[in-house]
Amino acid sequence: MNDHQYSSKTLDEGNNSNSPRDHDPTNLSELLKAGYNEIHGTIQRGDSLARSFEKHDVPTLARVQFIQAFKNKVDFTNLHPGEQYSIVHDRNNQIIKSVYRINPYTSYTALPTVNGFKVVRDEVELKVKTVGISGEVDSSLFAAFPDDLKSPRLVYAFADIFASKMDFNTETMPGDRINLVVEEYY
């Protein structure tokens, strides 16, 4: 078999007890127990997909299949640090399942079919909760935020919104109050 062409041969070998058809491709622990290999990678600053594949010893056939599977969903010429991928492959280096995660909210899963790959966008259900926050300045703006809702990102975002009207480093005084409404996503 040519290492650069996708072959569905392993999908059609239904008599083999280790055939992908005998395992649920969405159940990773089942695939790993069946002897399939899993490779995880994260794109680093300055990485190309090829460089990341080299670092993680992704087999040539799996590389070709991965790119073929995601070519219409992911722009591999414009990758960003932190993007992640995982590849589950059999002993012939055929991909059984692969995932490309662009960010915590956007990822794609590719599963092999007899005609290539079926790629689906993974749905991430976000729950939104509206929360009121209030506090009183005693020493700093940061200290005025309640401990259970305090995050540096939220405090800095709040300060940035009003930066043109107030310098929170020099103009806050003990007794000043803050009130805001935010949406929490989880």
**DSSP collapsed to 3 states, 13-34:** CCCCCCCHHHCCCCCHHHHHHC
Q: Is the pLDDT of residue 178 over 90?
A: no
Neighbouring-strand partners of residue 136? 177
Q: Is the pLDDT of residue 16 over 80?
A: no
**DSSP labels, 105-170:** TEEEEEEEETTEEEEEEEP-PPPEEEEEEEEE-SS-HHHHS-GGG--HHHHHHHHHHTTTT--TTT
- Encode pLDDT of 127-166 as tens digits: 889 988 888 888 888 788 877 766 778 888 888 888 888 8
Q: Is the pLDDT of residue 31 over 70?
A: no
Higher pLDDT, 140 or 37: 37
**Ramachandran angles phi, psi of 52, nearest 5°:** -65, -40
Higher pLDDT, 35 or 114: 114
Task: Identify the structural domains of the chain with CATH numbers, from first to last.
Answer: 9-122 (3.10.450.350), 128-185 (no CATH)
- Encode pLDDT of 60-115 as tens digits: 999 999 999 999 999 999 999 999 999 999 989 999 999 999 998 899 999 999 99
Contact 159, 171 (CB under 8 A): no
The pairing of strands 106-113 and 95-103 is antiparallel
Contact 28, 88 (CB under 8 A): yes
Supply the pLDDT for residue 17.
Answer: 42
